[in-house]
Amino acid sequence: MATTVTLTVNGKTARIHVDDPQMPLLYALRNDLDLHGPRFGCGLGQCGACTVHVDGAAVRSCVTPIGNVAGKHVLTLEGLGSPEKLHPLQKAFIEEQAVQCGYCINGMIMQAKALLDSNKKPTEEEIRTELANNLCRCGTHVRIVRAIQRASASAK
């Protein structure tokens, strides 16, 4: 049933007209709001490419109905920082050159943010465990871990 969903995205109010409140949040972000940070990888909650934060928690936007996030705060990779004003995680990913194709990287950064929010100085093992359900096909893992360690070390 067509309806309008109001939510906050990257600090701004967004009103989205949807035909179906069951539509995953991912499509609203990508197509209605032109936010391309969150990516379509599987649509099944299996890979993590679509990860965003909803009220501070990392969620998979490909399996989160838009109707469920009405009134909530959504943060995407674009909201985390910009090329001019990088978030420490983004800065660390650049410094470590922790990207090959980069398709998975949105998920890696957003999931890592969830980890660092609750655990400022994770061990390497904790980082690997946190990212166990985020898939990367290019084999960028070793750099991704290093980037998260770097971001963690740079935090006060």
CB atoms within 10 A of CB 86: 15
Compute φ and ψ for 147, nearest 5 degrees. -65, -40
Taking the complex as a whole, the smallest distance from the CB of residue 98 to ligand FES amounts, in Å, to 8
Give the C-alpha separation, 51 to 38, whole Å. Answer: 6
x/- mask, ligand FES, residues 29-48, rule CB under 6 A, reads: -----------xxxx-xxxx
Identity of the residue, 11 or 39, whose beta carbon is nearer to ligand FES in the bound complex: 39
Helix (H) / strand (E) containing 110: helix 105-118
**Of 8 and 81, which has the nearer Cβ to other proteins?**
81
- If one asks whether residue 142 binds ligand FES (CB under 6 A), the answer comes out as no
Helix (H) or strand (E) holding 75: strand 73-75
Please say which residue, 94 or 153, places its beta carbon nearer to other proteins: 94
Judged by the rule CB under 8 A, the positions of this chain that interact with other proteins are: 2, 18-20, 23-24, 27, 30-31, 35-44, 46-47, 49, 76-78, 80-83, 86, 90, 93-94, 97, 99-106, 109, 125, 127-129, 131-143, 145
- Contact between 61 and 29 (Cβ < 8 Å): yes
Burial of 153 (0-12, 13-18, 19+ CB in 10 A): exposed
Nearer residue to ligand FES within complex by CB, 140 or 152: 140
Footprint on this chain of ligand FES (rule: CB under 6 A):
40-43, 45-50, 60, 62, 99-104, 136-138, 140
